[in-house]
Chains A and B, each alone.
Chain A
């Protein structure tokens, strides 16, 4: 991965995107809510799906669905081929060395829990430490807290500045204790929009022999990820944030580590041989995929990655960056509005508060104007506590958003002001 892929591109590069055509591929965007055209700016919570993804899922169920890895019949063979084909697409998307390093889960949360439970459970002992950052989503906090409770290890939190930038020196200092067993951190913060210097963070950890996990839930649709260039031990993301179906997640893990780790769940598909005395586990990746997976969902994720590749993540990132700049400039014109998260390296979302108006009220009023945003703590309550606010409003962008939609957002925000004057 290049050092800062999002920012390396001039904003004008987005001129290459045919937005009308892209939007036409998303059936859900063609609707009115409360009598107004839908302006969907809650993409950081979950993106929408293009027709190619919906069709891939529908085709699976209509023509060739069967359980995988166990049938000798044609449908099972076809389903298995499509499912494993999607694994290869994920491998290529992340530039992983082997499909054995790609584990399908339910979501980012489960991917992280898998590592906490299996890797953490087998390597972390009393007195050890796990390092995270202060801007983590709850799903990269709570699994480690549970692990610490079970093992007597301690969680160490690297702080960030008022602008929302990680304090790298503090992070490095925490790594120096000699007791750290893993550093786990978010690539792109869902509460602040901060793009963390993950390449550097991984290098700093590796210099001390510490393995790393990157929470890629937000970065995956915005930043080109090359796990071999990053050299992280684990990378986790969710299908539903990159135009794929919900209910599917991915855990990338380096093969040697995954091989050494005990299984996460037991059951069918993850075994080689079961007797009542002893069970031999299956090889990777099946060892970590117990039970019947979300077959059509995984196939849908494959279709989503094809779709993103056809447009090109660099073009997507450039377009979103231009939208973010455009939105940021206009939001700053609104009296009393404060943007939370002003890191130099930032992508895809603007979180903000308005003096004297609770984000929930902003969200409700915007909804009546057709504008869907998220209001709340964004599953990052420690970030809210850091800034002393209960919640924020957040507009987050995807490839199909337009400048007109930013205008609609801003216009609706002026209405909020008017109503509360």
Chain B
């Protein structure tokens, strides 16, 4: 049960229950869907970008606690950030959930997902929303898959 608490930390359970920025942006400048083919989970992300800054970001969809919480935490982390920082943050986040690296301080709350590294089958859940955002920024018309 204790090691399960490392994965399902309070912050994650909280964001799962009450996801932040869980809504549709009516007129987003960028939008994409992400699909996890393993479980069929589907997530939509919406961004409002102005002068290279993410003014607003939101998501919709049904997913497991890990993918919902990760999406919710991601929207908090990205709101107000320059678009140019998304790739850096994603790389740092990806490292945290797949390797034994120290969690860089810049990641803030996203670090609570580090427990995922011990559950390789769940990494895709944690990165689904990020893949969708990256696809939206590249303006993919087709939904992206995590593999």
Contact = CB atoms under 8 A, between A and B. Distances in A.
Interface string B1-31: 1011101100001000100000000000000
A358 B69 CA distance: 12
B127 to A, nearest CB: 14
Contacts of A384: 40
B3 A368 contact: yes
Q: From A358, A368, A377, name the one whose CB has the most chain B CB atoms within 10 angstroms.
A: A358
Contact of A390 (B3, B17, B62, B125): B62
A360 B39 contact: yes
B122 interface: yes
A contacts with B: majority SS: helix
A384 B66 CA distance: 21
Nearest to A384: B40
Nearest to B62: A390
A165 B13 CA distance: 37
A391 B66 contact: no
Contact of B41 (A356, A390, A415): A390
Contact of B122 (A359, A360, A377): A360
A376 interface: yes
B38 interface: yes
Interface string B62-85: 111110100000000000000000
B138 to A, nearest CB: 26
B40 A419 contact: no
A339 interface: no
Interface in A377-421: 377, 381, 384, 390-391, 415, 419-420
Contacts of A377: 39-40
A381 B62 CA distance: 15
A368 B4 CA distance: 8
Interface in B64-111: 64-66, 68
A57 interface: no
B64 A358 contact: yes
Contacts of B41: 360, 390-391
8 contacts: A358-B62, A358-B64, A360-B122, A361-B66, A364-B122, A365-B8, A375-B39, A390-B42
Given A357-B65, A391-B40, A420-B13, 5 more contacts: A358-B65, A359-B64, A360-B125, A361-B65, A364-B119
